[in-house]
Amino acid sequence: MSLILLTGNDLSLSDLAAIAAGAPVAFSTAAIAAMEASRAVVDGAVARGDVVYGVNTGFGNFADVRIGASDLEALQRNLVRSHAAGVGPTLPALETRALMVLRANVLAKGFSGARIETARLLIDCLNRGIHPMVPEQGSVGASGDLAPLAHVALLLIGEGECQVEGRTLSAAFALTAAGLKPVTLAAKEGLALINGTQLMTGIAALALIEAQTLARTADVIAAMTIDALLGTDVAFDPRIHDARPHAGQSASARNLKRLLGGSALRESHRNCGRVQDAYSLRCAPQVHGAARDVQAFVRRTIEIEMNSATDNPMVFAEAGVLLSGGNFHGEPVAMAADFLAIATAELGGISERRIERLVNPTLSGLPAFLTEDGGLRSGFMMAHVTAAALASENKSLAHPASVDSITTSANKEDHVSMGPIAARQARSVVANVRRILAIEALAAAQAIEFHRPLKTSDALEAAHAAVRAAVPKYDADRVMGPEIERIADLVGRGHLLRAAENISGDLE
């Protein structure tokens, strides 16, 4: 993988995905200069004996406690140890790497005051695949993601545990084995490592990347369902959508029109007399498109946050000052993650309704539950129940976390964002919708086969073939769970989408 330079200003979602997957990183020359300048300001404040929050004072409600010069290293070490209070499941490696590089990118901006050697150790660990064990829970999203980031900082001081190539090791052993040395944190450095929104941003960013794939894949799978149910493409006429020009809606309608073009199934019933289809078919562009428009907003918010300084205090090198503020507050990301969960849940909700139409003989005109010998066989009966269960679970997960708050730190932190909870909820919704879409893809593929020898469009036949390459036709009842997961993997990684796009061209 190509080396990605961190400047603090232009890290993209695609960069983040590549680094999470293992791409190496380095600091740009400009970033190194910015970090050196900000560190000089911190060193100057310490030398003069200036009273600066987090440099020579306590933290939170201890902000008024002055710390002597001889205790400044202990202050930062104690901060990291005491704040490493996270609990719950350990972050997966992809999200841990996202968390690490996002924090490194903050340091690269030059507002944090960390020394170059400390920042370099962070990316050295990233490049060598030394991943700290970071519990998911323990952050309320202001003052940033303190607990999770403290578990990252523990690694840099040679404490705690980490994972290397699937093995759990002590941080001290892993660093030594890699030829690296832990750092002794200087003034402000502990705070520079833990004060920010990088947990919530990393989880939300990776969830968004997959959600964008799901939105386009939903168009492919919906088109398969529409054709299998002998639906019409009239509802996707561009004149309709030009009259209500939401960008996402228009894009989805164009996708559906293109995907259905040339279908023999469509031509077989063009003059059947049916006037219009149910909403889950006819209004797919309106629902899929609204989700796309939310994703566009979330993307703008996340990419801004990925390249923002979220420290407190912030170091302004040109003026030579440290200023206290509240950029660590995660409200922008929390709201965006909530919106992402809601939008993605709707992709799953309308997909579940289409599955119902496929398995219900009254609505589809196809064999009940898409199986021959119904009664002896149950076919897709329980697969639809699974989709319904996932869609209903998403209704709870889509309840916004950002409208909640709880007072912490002796009422100093009296309004918090709950951004990490919002991000984790969004991640869970994305996983559920991946599986709902997989069930619809399997059901639509089965339904199409009841119309043989008629074929759907070339693009949809390619998508159908991709499903069948992974899962054979259901000509007898068998265990469906592993097969749903197999197709969900194809959906999540974009393989089903690319199968259609190889014929249709890139979808919007």
Per annotation, catalytic residue among 11, 35, 52, 53: 53
CA–CA separation, 237 and 242 (whole Å): 9
Closest by CA position to 228, among listed 272, 264, 274: 264
Helices (H), 326-418: 331-359, 361-364, 381-397
Angstrom CA distances, 457 to 260, 267, 504, stand at: 6, 11, 10
Which residues make Cβ contacts (< 8 Å) with residue 375, sequence separation at least 6? none
* 53 belongs to the catalytic site: yes
Closest by CA position to 35, among listed 23, 47, 43: 43
- Residue type present at position 162: C
Asked if the peptide bond before residue 143 counts as cis, ω within 30 degrees of 0, the response is: yes
Q: What is the 3-state secondary structure (H, E, C) of 413-463?
A: ECCCCCHHHHHHHHHHHHHHHHHHHHHHHHHHHHHHHCCCCCCCCHHHHHH
| Contact in structure between 163 and 133 (CB atoms under 8 Å) | yes
Which residues make Cβ contacts (< 8 Å) with residue 62, sequence separation at least 6? none
DSSP 38-71: HHHHHHHHHHHT---TTTSB-SGGGTT-B--GGG
CA–CA separation, 346 and 291 (whole Å): 7
Please report where in the chains the tokens 């219900």 appear, as a residue: 360
Helix %, strand %, coil % for the chain, to 5?
60, 5, 35
Quote the tokens at residue 188: 């402000």
Q: Which residues are catalytic?
A: 53
